[in-house]
Amino acid sequence: MSGNPHVRFSQDTLANGLRVIIAPDRVAPVVAINLWYDVGSKHEQPGKTGFAHLFEHFMFQGSRHVAKAEHLSIVQGVGGVLNATTYFDRTNYFETLPSHQVELGLWLEADRMATLLDAMSQSNLDNQRDVVKNEKRQSYDNRPYGSFYEKLMAAVFPQGHPYHHTPIGSMEDLDAASLEDVEAFFRTYYVPNNAVLTVAGDLDEAPVIEAVERYFGPIEPNDELPAFRRPHDDPAPAHREVVPDDVPLERVHVGYRCPAFGTREFDALEVATQILAGGRGSRLHKRLVREEQAAQDVAFFALPLVAGSSIAAGWVTARPESDADTVEALLDEELLRMAREPVTDDELARAHALIESAELSALSHMDEVADRLSMYSTYFDRPELVNEQLGRYLEVDAQAVRDVCAAVFETDQRTTLTYVPRSEEEAAA
């Protein structure tokens, strides 16, 4: 084992509340700018879902000094790349640029934080609402097994829980959203005291800090930023559902409530998922795909969520000559074996090696370093976890794996979705 990484960084907070992290690294002549807003789908109110994801689209539709779609063309025009993502717990915006263009990237992010609403209009709202609807049709509604994500979250986290709905949101809610609704959402959450800005790469700290202060310092904070109220984590009842769909093969999806990301228990669960489903040498692949030859494919993972609890989930697709009942029974056997028998030293070493390889590979890229620093600061106010997390994974032992698997898998509070091909009558209907 090569040991923990060491990312050197400094951190500060501007007078308006913006947390700033600077991480110099001269390995390549690029700079990664990463801005995390502490707003995701969990912050949305009933009847007003999908707003955080909608703003992922709005943020590229112009601001006071940048025309519609110009943010993209400016960054690409100087040889940079950019993107954004929306999640349950946050939204992030990021660009990687040649290092001499760092001020350009900072100015672009500051301009849309400060003046995005100057470019907001009813036609813009209508247009982006249609874009999101089309995205939902492509990714959820018209894709085989595509509805599992929404169904699984809705069952594992009951009505009223902030994880009950996915970031794509409700199309009915988006249809009902007024311009005033979305503007109020932006004014509430897209403010400096609700954000973390990380700049990592080939840079000199002093001029970057001065540029951050110059561009972001004048932006007013929201002194009435609402505090997120963590939900009561009452157990979800068991849920079983058969879903007739336009699918080629029967597939079983399962979901369990599990410890939150950031806990030692979640670390152990991530090691467990590597033993269960980390490649062709994993337990589930060996048993269900290679030995029993009952499954076409199998997956299992822990989704990192921070508001009280998270979700462990997976699926197994039956081969044409097999069926959903067979593969579900085999999946259950392997999950319960994890809870009742210690994993072997070889399995634990393999899982540690897979995780270490993935972590070290990720941290060799400036954009990932910047993203991790923003993440650990946003979630836990501890950016130093970027240097500690790998060590935490490597400390997980066989007993910790068994304990968390027993707590998660030895329960009847599981959601099970069984996808089956539609009958000819259902397809015709």
pLDDT at 3: 59
What are the C-alpha distances in Å from 300 to residues 269, 297, 311, 384? 11, 11, 11, 29
**What mean pLDDT do residues 352-370 have?**
96
pLDDT at 137: 87
Tell me: pLDDT of 258 over 80.
Answer: yes
* pTM more than 0.85: yes
Q: 281-295, 383-397, 411-425: lowest mean pLDDT where? A: 411-425
**What mean pLDDT do residues 356-360 have?**
95
286 in Cβ contact with 362 (< 8 Å)? no
104 in Cβ contact with 74 (< 8 Å)? yes
Tell me: pLDDT of 394 over 50.
Answer: yes
The first and second tokens of residue 8, run together, are: 């050197």
Q: Is 422 helix (H, G, I), strand (E, B) or coil?
A: coil
Tell me: pLDDT of 428 over 90.
Answer: no
**What mean pLDDT do residues 20-33 have?**
96
pLDDT at 292: 97
Local confidence band at 229 (pLDDT 50, 70, 90 cut-offs): confident
Question: Per-residue pLDDT tens for 284-309?
Answer: 999 999 999 999 999 999 999 999 89
Tell me: pLDDT of 318 over 80.
Answer: yes
Question: Per-residue pLDDT tens for 62-86?
Answer: 999 999 989 999 999 999 999 999 9
Q: Is 224 helix (H, G, I), strand (E, B) or coil?
A: coil
Tell me: pLDDT of 91 over 70.
Answer: yes
At residue 330, what are phi and psi to the nearest 5 degrees? -65, -40
Give residues with Cβ within 8 angstroms of 170, minimum separation 6: 49, 50
Nearest-CA neighbor of 418 among 324, 310, 277?
324
Tracing tokens 């972590």 back to the chain, one arrives at 359
**What mean pLDDT do residues 277-287 have?**
96
pLDDT at 1: 42
Question: Per-residue pLDDT tens for 100-128?
Answer: 999 999 999 999 999 999 999 999 889 98
DSSP state of 232: P
